[in-house]
Amino acid sequence: MSSETTTKPRRRASAKARVPYVGRPLPRVEDRPLLVGAGGYVDDFERPGMLHAHVVRSEVAHGRIRSIDVAAARRLPGVEHVITAADLPPVEIPVRLFPTDSSNRTLQPPLARDRVRYVGEPVAVVVATDPYLAEDAAAQVAVDVEPLVPVLDVEQAADDDAWLLHPQLGTNVIDRVTVGGDEAEVARLIRGADVVVRKRFRLARQGAVPLETRGLLAEYDADANALTVWGAAKVKHFNRTILSDLIGLPEASLRLIEGDVGGGFGARGEFYPEDYLIPWLAREIGRPVKWIEDRRENLLALNHSREQQWDLELAADREGRFIAFRASVLWAQGAYSRTHGSVLLPRLILLHASGPYRWQAFWGEASSVLTNKTPAGTYRGPGQYEPTFVRERMVDLVAREVGIDPAEIRRRNIITKAEMPYDSGLLDLDTGLPMVYDDGDFPLVFEQLLERCGYDQLRADVVRRQRAGERVGLSATSFIEMGNPGVFEQARVEALPDGRFVAHVGIASVGQGVETVLSQVAADLLHVPIEQVAVRYRDTATVPEGQGAFSSRATVWGGYAVAGAIRALQERAVEVAAERFNAVADEIEADGDSVLVPRGRRRRRVPIAELASEGFFRYEPGSASHVLTGGNVALVRVDPGSGDVVLERWWLAYEVGRAINPLTLEGQVRGAAVQGIGGALLEAFAYAPDGQPLTTSFLDYALPTAAESPNVEVLLVELGERREGDPLSGAKGGGEGGIIGVGATVANAVADALGGAAGELTELPILPETVQRLAALQAPAARGGAKPPMRSAS
Amino acid sequence: MSRKVTLEINGERYEREVEERLLLSDFIRHEAGLTGTHVGCEHGVCGACTVQLDGEPVRSCLLLAVQAEGHQLRTVEDLNAGMGEELHPLQQAFHESHGLQCGFCTPGFLMSIEPMLNTAADLDEGEIRAAISGNLCRCTGYQNIVSAIQLAATRMQDGS
């Protein structure tokens, strides 16, 4: 390392007219190993003497376990161990977020005890010397179950006389949350309104379905009484705490290691039964145990999401100005309270119901209801995608009713900049304080979207094509997203003697590009080439405590933690320099990777690494959550014969404050949009009347492919205020916004193409049979007269 | 039942005594230790496990190792073999176009596309989309993958 150099500060400062990394569309630093086949996903790890586990799962949706016979499985060659609930201590898988009395009484045991409550519920685990042998033996475990009536439909499950999943509770409705003001006042407003639309909406079960299935590898070191677990993701520090509680080892004895993660999307990385079973087995047997989920298991065992039913009334005046709405939602939680508990999703759903619009009043309730299906949790855009679909469908129905264009009705109702700060009437999820919309510019974003796509021309083209008999439709929708939640995030930045810096952070990566964006921030603050910065997050033994990666929070929370740690490192270096050079600390200036120490009229530049080795910071700003807004425009064509929906064009605007890396952010937005298209047109976990899942392979659960995915034209709107010396200033947590409005946008465009049958389009996904049925309701030739006249959008 | 199988992967000969039911994907990953080939569904839909068998893309989860007896296989690890720090033009284009996020599906895409790259410059976007519709990606939405293929194909054409 170079020794100190002497420079004139002014010259040096001007020589530093560097182009910041932040804001540039930089290709990712993560890519190389993933491109050459050198990634390290959980199944790529091996340990000497490793055994392989296979989970035996319930084949019955609801029943009493009479017996489980593992004798035949135990006798098979290579089988080392078989366990059932009888072998385990009486622990249950806890709820990570917002546990309630009811959720704590409906927790899932790691292995089913006396009852099974969904197909796919773990009932036994076989451990063998080879994964093929483990699977052979698992097939020999005989589970004798006395069937009970399965409860599958969320509305029937909520009935007073429904069969109960957890009889000790006396109901399947485990929790209920409300939002908004005085229900009676809302009812009065709706009664007195000129225009009232009432609809029931339903959304099917869908899920994250990452391309890499889950997996774990656990190894117990008896001498050190320590457990190491590979395969963590998303919230590894939380999971370490949970595992410590359940397995009875101190946190310091547990090490959770996150390898490369093949997609998360909210569901992967939460604490599931297997996250207890595999480490428990490794300790019990005294040999490393690996478990790799197969795709069928993944579709049955990973959290599901989205399934819900809405009853909604929306009132407006004759000009299409909204007055009030009243919503009643049933959230299908599945068989147990797991991971996200029973109130987080209902709360999120209600928080995103009112959207970017002004209301005189609203009221909503959402109940969490148990059914004999896979437990539910979050999936990208949780509690945001669904209410946005419902609300935006209703907005279009009101627009039809009063005879104005969908873009125009939104213009009339979107909260303006002049109305901010705007009291949303909602309470913050984390703090419970009133949520006030005080930044962003909702109309500006919507108008930029319309301008970018040439909305008026598009509308004219669509009307012309419709008159010519084409089944085409256009939609323009708006959304808000409450992003960037959290309580704290930490970072430790090391200065290495060779001039490199290593930032250890407590956030996680699920493939978004966290290393790249945090490296950009650090390189800008340290004034070094990005190659001299490394970001580490993988191992709980070496990185600080952290909350992890969820709700688009990693960049901003992780970034401010890194920035704080760099500041702490610089401050430490200044202190040491003051002592070493007998200077006044106030006169020493931190300058990126160095400090400048006065020496006569000149200044001595000393590299930080020669003065200090590390800086630590805990970022704990109170609430950092904020509101993001955006919109989508879609042009679609439907084929009434095949029921096919072709997405001809797609535009997406998203106000992100400031894009740290437009390349990766646009990548997030595009990917999210296509996931949302899967949710709008393809994806549904289907069940037979006896509770058997019908979608247990990629042949049945259809993900979008390149063939039906559109190009998404992304318009990032950056309204964030920039502050000197703060590369993150103005940035908001982004990444999920791409999915939030997509179901709504597809549905409204298809409804537009279906003309008079539009009011019947109330479900997601919109499968071909729905399109065929609705298209048959009204032939195109008959549509012209039934459709209200369009007013000019401008 | 086990039997001896001899095959060539990335120019290297592997001779192993394996069970007849062993999937080729498991042979590649766990016998040959080439973990760049990923298994996403084990029923031939997602394409993550795609490798080249005698130059043609195949799904290694739909073949048994014994079926590959005497054949030449190529996996993602071979794409830039011998190129040092440099990447294969297709890998480079995926990097520049941000054609990957979690990276799990990426080796399958690369091995599916690489044999058609020499002719891909003449393909329109729809044809490229059709050509990769047998590979699932849950992260990117495909648009940047299409761009990457177009970029690589153009460069290969210009270079040849």
CA–CA min distance A767, chain B (Å): 20
The Cα A544–Cα A615 span in angstroms is 12
Q: List the beta strands (DSSP E) in A614-712.
A: 614-619, 626-638, 645-655
Residue A17's pLDDT is: 64
The Cα A633–Cα A651 span in angstroms is 5
Residue A604: partners with Cβ closer than 8 Å, 6 or more residues away? A4, A5, A6, A581, A596, A597, A598
Residues in A closer than 8 angstroms to B144, CB to CB, are 667, 670
**Which of A:705-734 have CB within 8 Å of B?**
705-707, 709, 711-712
The Cα A698–Cα A284 span in angstroms is 35
Question: Tokens in use for A547?
Answer: 């909350």
CA angle (A588, A589, A590) in 5-degree steps: 125
Residue A461: partners with Cβ closer than 8 Å, 6 or more residues away? none
For an interface test with B, which of A29, A35, A699 has the most B Cβ atoms less than 10 Å from its Cβ?
A35
Residues in B closer than 8 angstroms to A705, CB to CB, are 132-136, 142
Task: Look at A674 and B29 and tell me if their CB atoms are within 8 Å.
Answer: no
- Spans in chain B with pLDDT lower than 50: none
Q: Which residue of B has its CA nearest to A44?
A: B35
**Which of B:21-60 have CB within 8 Å of A?**
21-22, 29, 34-43, 45-46, 48
Spatial strand order in the sheet of A472-483:
A472-483, A626-638, A645-655, A713-717
Task: Look at A711 and B143 and tell me if their CB atoms are within 8 Å.
Answer: yes
Residues in A closer than 8 angstroms to B21, CB to CB, are 132
The Cα A742–Cα A203 span in angstroms is 14
Instruction: Measure Cα distances from A621 to A105, A109, A348, A489, B135 in Å.
Output: 34, 37, 22, 10, 43
Determine phi and psi for A567, rounding to 5 degrees.
-60, -45
Q: Which residue of A has its CA nearest to B36?
A: A37
Task: Look at B98 and A667 and tell me if their CB atoms are within 8 Å.
Answer: yes
Residue B5's pLDDT is: 97
- Spans in chain A with pLDDT lower than 70: 1-17, 778-794
Which one-letter DSSP state was computed for residue A1? -
- Closest CB from B107, B141, B143 relative to A37: B107
**Which of A:112-151 have CB within 8 Å of B?**
132
The Cα A19–Cα B81 span in angstroms is 35
Instruction: Measure Cα distances from B160 to B91, B114, B151 in Å.
Output: 18, 15, 14
A396 neighbors A316 (Cβ within 8 angstroms) = no
The residue type found at B69 is E
A749 neighbors A634 (Cβ within 8 angstroms) = yes
Q: How many residues does chain A have?
A: 794
**Which of A:506-545 have CB within 8 Å of B?**
510-513
Q: What is the pTM of this model?
A: 0.95
Of A268, A284, A517, the residue nearest A378 (C-alpha) = A268
A38 neighbors B87 (Cβ within 8 angstroms) = no
Assign residue A437 a region: left if phi > 0, alpha if psi is -120 to 50, beta otherwise? beta
- Closest CB from A511, A666, A707 relative to B102: A511
A175 has a chain B CB within 8 A of its CB = no
Q: How many residues does chain B have?
A: 160
A252: buried, middle or exposed (CB in 10 Å: 19+, 13-18, 0-12)?
exposed
- Closest CB from B22, B80, B98 relative to A36: B80
A512 neighbors A668 (Cβ within 8 angstroms) = yes
Of A51, A110, A120, the residue nearest A84 (C-alpha) = A110
How many CA atoms within 13 Å lie on the side-chain side of A466? Answer: 25
Residue A592: partners with Cβ closer than 8 Å, 6 or more residues away? A16, A525, A526, A527, A528
The Cα A536–Cα B13 span in angstroms is 37
The Cα A74–Cα A68 span in angstroms is 12
Residues in B closer than 8 angstroms to A264, CB to CB, are 102
CB count in 10 Å sphere of residue A101: 10
Q: Which residue of B has its CA nearest to A294?
A: B41
- Closest CB from A32, A260, A670 relative to B140: A670
CB count in 10 Å sphere of residue A10: 9
A501 neighbors A532 (Cβ within 8 angstroms) = yes
**Residue B8: its H or E element:** strand B2-9
- Closest CB from A38, A671, A711 relative to B36: A38
Which one-letter DSSP state was computed for residue A39? -
Residue A428's pLDDT is: 87
A34 has a chain B CB within 8 A of its CB = yes
What is the DSSP annotation of A523-574? Answer: HHHHTS-GGGEEEE-SBTTTSPP---S-TT-HHHHHHHHHHHHHHHHHHHHH
Residue A786's pLDDT is: 39
